[in-house]
Structure 1
């Protein structure tokens, strides 16, 4: 058993089960002083530390080699002021933050479709939602406090240590351990959700028009078919009233169909892969329409109980239709049998050095396979096509790129690695994965 604030030798696995570690020291610090002590002790002993949140990354970004620093005791709400600036300890899970904000009349501007991550993990890996006018979660940051590898602390904002703030908004856990973060919330709002079927060809022909047709737009394409499920969420004042789905309908759609039935189809496809195209057609054929209005965080977030591994590439928005057209050809030709839908989203350009949307309006294309499944040529095809247009992989999702290639995709890559060398010259906050994607410290 782990005692409060104690250390034990233990093992770890991520949510998908594709990343594991054994025989590491697991520590659960509470407060910045305890975090600083862990880092200082590790640095003195020549050991490496990886902070971890909820383990929702598919890459080995959080995989510990010597010491794992778990932030599950560092989860307090620090402050919410009357302008919507909310400061929280970095281990707070997003679902709890959403509930805390809603109770006070505030909402985050945009969210991804999973809320099980910690604030620190979501920020550090570049979590984003969808919306042509909106950036990822890190664009809502207004300040942060880092515990550095030598145990010192650094407060950062646009006005204080601005160079560190600029990079640490998406820091990969490589610059320091996030202690507390300040996010800009906005008055709570509702979303009118409209879901329904569409044809892939129609969406690709009018891609820009469709993806900008309202505030938050995405679609899911079912490989081996030309069918898609579209999701269009429009921002509305809470004062206009809410019309949430009846409880029975939400349970049937989101738990029974989207999770239990889908899990059965995925399992059937694993046993008999030749059935996957037929199962995809059955799933796509059952798509219906539904419209409802609810608090924003209730609409942004979906329940994901079927475990998978994922690759997602950010590409210039105009390039997405051609890539999806080629993926459709591959699936239609049977070159890979894909049982999960392909997710397509968009985001506005931002100015964060390691953001996948840095400097350009972006489309995101995500492919998935069931957990414990070889992604094979499906992931390889997306990676190759995205690479031909300068695509950038999500930092928390599977990819095969190294620092030499990533440097060509990010104009400010060397700015980030130079800052890393300054803040962590001993490579305390490293692991083999970061050595691959960022290069060795000072290398």
Structure 2
């Protein structure tokens, strides 16, 4: 244990800086070392990159860092990829691409570890495509009792079913097996539009190509629309020129946007005109590149985020009400609202469990109070049974979430069986799942 556990306590903070703790840190290099740690009598929380805004990864006692549980272990001829749970997505994507494979869908951030992304229900966009967890085919899980379980649709099937989005509450993931697909490209078409049109033609718009999303700029009717179509790599790629990529994705989307945020914080009255500037700054563009390079965006401006999954059919009404509430207020919101869609799945704690979903995400600068902006999104989404992203800020507890998830008790029963004394629990899990009842 002395080789795994740090000799002095460490100050930990998440990516956004809103979650902090003084912790003992462990860096196990194998499932066996994880088992030793979990049976040591300490309370343990696994952590990936710390990109969650909620306290899902905040430890009460010991923090288990998976940075030695990394790398691709195996790739079969049919694309089953077994990878260490602590592998960051950007490294996984690069290595898969080098070997001629790809993840079939991704979110727009790739700094998370694969275990953290799976455990919190990370998703991308695409009406025919599920979240990251729908690509999972097997997992290696170390239980609080120290048992190393190999789980898939046939072995320990109940644990596999629940553990695909497991919140780190069932055990510690040490390796996962994913279904990759042959490497492919995306043809991206991006440009301006209006929220009025997007709401009027929502379903047609969001199903018009394989992967559609848009960003609405509060204080305006403007959106930035992104439509990505899957194309074979052998048809060739036509990426953005280097200068255009740097100008759009670094200078405008990060450096200039950071200036917009800073100016808006100092002088709130500037936010509406700056929002109109931001809406017009990124012009239309089209390009074709490797899928993971198109799915992922560079995010250097730190923020806090709330995201709710609502039934896809209800998304236009939710967005229209959110716009009405914003127009009736004196709020000064500089960040755009992100809108995406996903297919239904059969995962108990997936935000898309049992229903086609649309995702509506609001942001504020890091180190600021979201105030009534987040509260209003939560209230409006709640009226249609909205489900919060597990890694993004929300105020719900187990009593409410039990009503939002038809299979909530199924998950909790597996948790209570595997962790009856709450070895892996923390304040956040006690709130959203209820205390362990084993």
Coarse TM-score class (shorter-chain normalised): over 0.9
Alignment of 1:257-336 (within 5 A): 257-336=252-331
1:219 has 2:214 as partner = yes
Contact 1:314–1:365 (Cα < 8 Å) also in 2 = yes
- Residue number in structure 1 paired with 2:26: 27
1:113 has 2:112 as partner = no
RMSD over equivalenced CA pairs, Å: 1.0
- Residue number in structure 1 paired with 2:9: 9
Contact 1:349–1:362 (Cα < 8 Å) also in 2 = yes
Higher alpha-carbon deviation: 24-33 or 304-313? 24-33
1:140 has 2:139 as partner = no
Provide, for residues 402-428 of structure 1, a one-character-per-residue CA deviation record: whole Å limited to 9, x for no partner.
000000000000011111000011100
Higher alpha-carbon deviation: 274-283 or 432-441? 274-283
- Residue number in structure 2 paired with 1:356: 351
SS of 1:285's equivalent in the other structure is: helix
Contact 1:19–1:59 (Cα < 8 Å) also in 2 = yes
- Residue number in structure 1 paired with 2:225: 230
User: How far did residue 17 of structure 1 move?
Assistant: 0.2
User: How far did residue 5 of structure 1 move?
Assistant: 3.4
SS of 2:301's equivalent in the other structure is: coil
- Residue number in structure 2 paired with 1:173: 168
User: How far did residue 275 of structure 1 move?
Assistant: 1.1
For 2:422 and 2:196, locate their aligned partners in 1 and report how far apart those are by CA, in whole Å.
48
SS of 1:68's equivalent in the other structure is: strand
User: How far did residue 335 of structure 1 move?
Assistant: 3.6
1:203 has 2:202 as partner = no
For 1:6 and 1:397, locate their aligned partners in 2 and report how far apart those are by CA, in whole Å.
29
Contact 1:53–1:117 (Cα < 8 Å) also in 2 = yes
Contact 1:314–1:363 (Cα < 8 Å) also in 2 = yes
User: How far did residue 282 of structure 1 move?
Assistant: 1.1
1:57 has 2:57 as partner = no
For 1:336 and 1:48, locate their aligned partners in 2 and report how far apart those are by CA, in whole Å.
41
User: How far did residue 140 of structure 1 move?
Assistant: 0.2
Unmatched 5+ stretches in structure 2: none
For 1:415 and 1:334, locate their aligned partners in 2 and report how far apart those are by CA, in whole Å.
41
1:338 has 2:337 as partner = no
User: How far did residue 152 of structure 1 move?
Assistant: 1.1
For 2:319 and 2:245, locate their aligned partners in 1 and report how far apart those are by CA, in whole Å.
30
- Residue number in structure 2 paired with 1:38: 37
User: How far did residue 6 of structure 1 move?
Assistant: 4.0
For 2:164 and 2:17, locate their aligned partners in 1 and report how far apart those are by CA, in whole Å.
27
For 1:135 and 1:245, locate their aligned partners in 2 and report how far apart those are by CA, in whole Å.
28
SS of 2:214's equivalent in the other structure is: strand
- Residue number in structure 2 paired with 1:183: 178
For 1:202 and 1:386, locate their aligned partners in 2 and report how far apart those are by CA, in whole Å.
21
Contact 2:337–2:363 (Cα < 8 Å) also in 1 = yes
For 1:392 and 1:413, locate their aligned partners in 2 and report how far apart those are by CA, in whole Å.
12
Provide, for residues 59-116 of structure 1, a one-character-per-residue CA deviation record: whole Å limited to 9, x for no partner.
0000011000000111121001110000001000000000110011000000000000
User: How far did residue 327 of structure 1 move?
Assistant: 1.6
Contact 1:330–1:336 (Cα < 8 Å) also in 2 = no
- Residue number in structure 1 paired with 2:153: 158
Alignment of 1:430-441 (within 5 A): 430-441=425-436
Matched pairs, number: 436
User: How far did residue 153 of structure 1 move?
Assistant: 0.7
SS of 1:183's equivalent in the other structure is: strand
Give the TM-score normalised by structure 2.
0.98
Contact 1:131–1:348 (Cα < 8 Å) also in 2 = yes
Within the candidate set 421, 425, 436, 2:416 is matched to 421
User: How far did residue 287 of structure 1 move?
Assistant: 3.1
User: How far did residue 4 of structure 1 move?
Assistant: 6.5
For 2:277 and 2:326, locate their aligned partners in 1 and report how far apart those are by CA, in whole Å.
16
Unmatched 5+ stretches in structure 1: none
Contact 2:308–2:360 (Cα < 8 Å) also in 1 = yes
For 1:377 and 1:203, locate their aligned partners in 2 and report how far apart those are by CA, in whole Å.
25
For 2:184 and 2:330, locate their aligned partners in 1 and report how far apart those are by CA, in whole Å.
44
Provide, for residues 93-150 of structure 1, a one-character-per-residue CA deviation record: whole Å limited to 9, x for no partner.
0000001100110000000000000000000000000000000000000000100001
User: How far did residue 48 of structure 1 move?
Assistant: 1.2
Give the TM-score normalised by structure 1.
0.97
1:408 has 2:403 as partner = yes
Contact 1:86–1:184 (Cα < 8 Å) also in 2 = yes
